[in-house]
Amino acid sequence: MNDNKTIFAQIMDYLPIKAFRRCVQKYNGNHKVKSFSCLDQFYTMAFAQLTFRESLRDIEACLRSQRNKLYHMGFRSVVARNTLANANEKRDWRIYAEFAQIVIHQARQLYQKEAFGVELENTVYALDSTTIDLCLSLFPWAQFRKRKGAIKLHTLLDLRGNIPTFIRITDGKFHDVNILDILIPEAGSIYLLDRAYIDFARLYLLHLYGAFFIVRAKANLNFKRLYSHAVDKSLGLRCDQIGVLSNFYASKNYPEKLRRVKFYDTQNNKNLVFLSNIFTLPALNIAELYKYRWQIELFFKWIKQNLRIKAFYGTSENAVKTQIWIAITIYVLVASIKKQLKLDISLYTFLQIISVNIFEKVPILQLLTDCDYKNYEEHFYNQLNLFN
């Protein structure tokens, strides 16, 4: 029973703390630290993410108002904003990045048999990036344009559970396609890519590693058809062709055959052309798989709306990366708890309930199952709808 533990402490119990201490030891995170350890820092930043705190002063005020409960929540030091700011500034962000990967690995094991709409044994990934705008005068290291700062969050999303498996934080000038040089391809997996990732030398390297890809073709694609398969046009398919690239440099970079599938999107009145090195799946499955690439766009919108990754508690590169990695850890942790407790609620509902009950001493399962709420489907609108 967890009757004597706060909701926050129960959530933190799902973390592999021994693994966290190994990460701290690896990067010597607690060197010359007399109080406010790396674990205290992590708990404080996790509290800020779970309760949507706006600033360091906000974090300090909320935690000090519940000072008598902090020890039982896992804190071993008094939280002061200057101490937290200094920790975010100086303690190596790689501690939290490496710990996030451990939590991600555990979550993927929980979701490895999760269905996502297409019945496949292959692991399916969506790769994309999102830009987070920053004030250049406050974040001079994040130069994007002449008078604008930004960073990019490059993410590889496992569609089974929508778990981010690879994340790289770069400056805003870093081109998306260059991330393929850093990514280690996984043989047998399928990568869903948009047109920003078209570089045939890099795509051929994916092919040589034994990985599969589906990518949107550009309008100026030079493709020589060798033969075609019959398609059912009533399903939206327009063609299913096998051929080679006819442009001189493209054919040198990708000398083998490719598959081109054209699909008509009735909702948007648009023809979509896909290139792939998958020859065994039906053409309709190629188009259906690419449709699920939209999950990574929803992931970016979700974390921007529900986690603190657009406004930062510090201005240094180390502080920004620390905050982002801890935010990702909290996202994956909440997804893992939801799966382990077999909760039929959205992550948004989960976070909202937790945020207003973080200091309560009640079993977390009871809290999340006894509430009288409706599990509304989340929608993302570009502007406020005045008539709902």
Model pLDDT for residues 109-155, shown as the tens digit of each residue: 999 888 877 788 889 999 999 999 999 999 999 989 888 999 999 99
- Which one is predicted more confidently, 378 or 337? 337
16: in domain: yes
Q: Which of 157, 128, 169 is nearest to 322 (CA)?
A: 169
Looking at residue 117, what is its pLDDT?
76
- What average pLDDT does the segment 258-283 reach? 92
Token pair recorded at residue 75: 């804190």
Looking at residue 371, what is its pLDDT?
61
Model pLDDT for residues 223-264, shown as the tens digit of each residue: 999 999 999 999 999 999 999 999 999 999 999 999 999 999
pLDDT exceeds 60 at position 14: yes
pTM of the model: 0.90
Model pLDDT for residues 31-49, shown as the tens digit of each residue: 988 889 999 999 999 999 9
114: in domain: no
Say whether both 218 and 271 belong to one domain.
Answer: yes
Collapsing DSSP states into helix, strand and coil, what is residue 21? helix
Q: What is the rounded distance in angstroms from the CA atom of residue 46 to the CA atom of residue 51? A: 9
CA angle 102, 317, 43 (to 5 degrees): 45
pLDDT exceeds 60 at position 379: no
Residue type present at position 108 = R
Say whether both 202 and 278 belong to one domain.
Answer: yes
Looking at residue 3, what is its pLDDT?
59
Say whether both 332 and 275 belong to one domain.
Answer: no
Say whether both 321 and 256 belong to one domain.
Answer: no
269: in domain: yes
Say whether both 330 and 261 belong to one domain.
Answer: no
74: in domain: yes
Token pair recorded at residue 181: 């040089």
105: in domain: no
187: in domain: no
- What average pLDDT does the segment 263-268 reach? 88
Domain of 249? Answer: 195-283
297: in domain: no
Mean pLDDT of the chain: 90
Say whether both 342 and 262 belong to one domain.
Answer: no
What single string gives the DSSP state of each residue in 67-91? GGGHHHHT--S---HHHHHHHHHHS
Model pLDDT for residues 157-166, shown as the tens digit of each residue: 999 989 999 9
Structural domains in the chain (count): 2
Q: Are 125 and 172 in contact (CB under 8 A)?
A: no
Say whether both 254 and 326 belong to one domain.
Answer: no
Looking at residue 374, what is its pLDDT?
52
Looking at residue 372, what is its pLDDT?
59
Model pLDDT for residues 362-372, shown as the tens digit of each residue: 999 998 887 65
CA angle 184, 328, 75 (to 5 degrees): 130
pLDDT exceeds 60 at position 60: yes
263: in domain: yes
- What average pLDDT does the segment 328-335 reach? 95
CA angle 110, 112, 115 (to 5 degrees): 110
Please say which residue of 238, 263, 283 terminates a domain: 283
- What average pLDDT does the segment 272-299 reach? 93
Say whether both 322 and 273 belong to one domain.
Answer: no
Looking at residue 112, what is its pLDDT?
87
Q: Which of 90, 80, 35 is nearest to 60 (CA)?
A: 80
- According to DSSP, the β-strands at 190-193 and 212-216 are parallel
What single string gives the DSSP state of each residue in 267-298? TTTEEEEEEES--SS-HHHHHHHHHTTHHHHH
